[in-house]
Amino acid sequence: MPEFNPIRSRKESWQSAPALEPQVLPEEAALLRILIGEDDQHKRLPPYQAIVLKARDMHLAGATVIRGFLGFGKSSHLHAKKTLRLSMDLPMVIEIVDVPEKVNAFLPYLEPIMSSGLVTLERARVIRQKHATAQKTMVR
**Burial of 129 per CB tally in 10 Å (0-12, 13-18, 19+):** buried
95: domain CATH number is 3.30.70.120
- In a domain, residue 96? The reply is yes
Domain that holds residue 47: 26-130
- In a domain, residue 62? The reply is yes
Distance CA 137, CA 14 (A): 28
Are 30 and 121 a contacting pair, CB within 8 Å? yes
Per-residue model confidence as pLDDT tens for the chain (140 residues): 555 555 454 334 455 566 666 778 889 999 999 999 887 777 888 899 999 999 999 999 999 999 988 777 776 666 666 654 555 678 899 999 999 999 999 999 999 999 889 999 999 999 988 877 645 455 55
Are 140 and 127 a contacting pair, CB within 8 Å? yes
Are 56 and 134 a contacting pair, CB within 8 Å? no
Is the pTM higher than 0.95? The answer reads no
- In a domain, residue 138? The reply is no
Q: What DSSP element (H or E) covers 105?
A: helix 100-106
- When divided into structural domains, the chain yields a total of 1
Report helix, strand or coil for 6.
coil
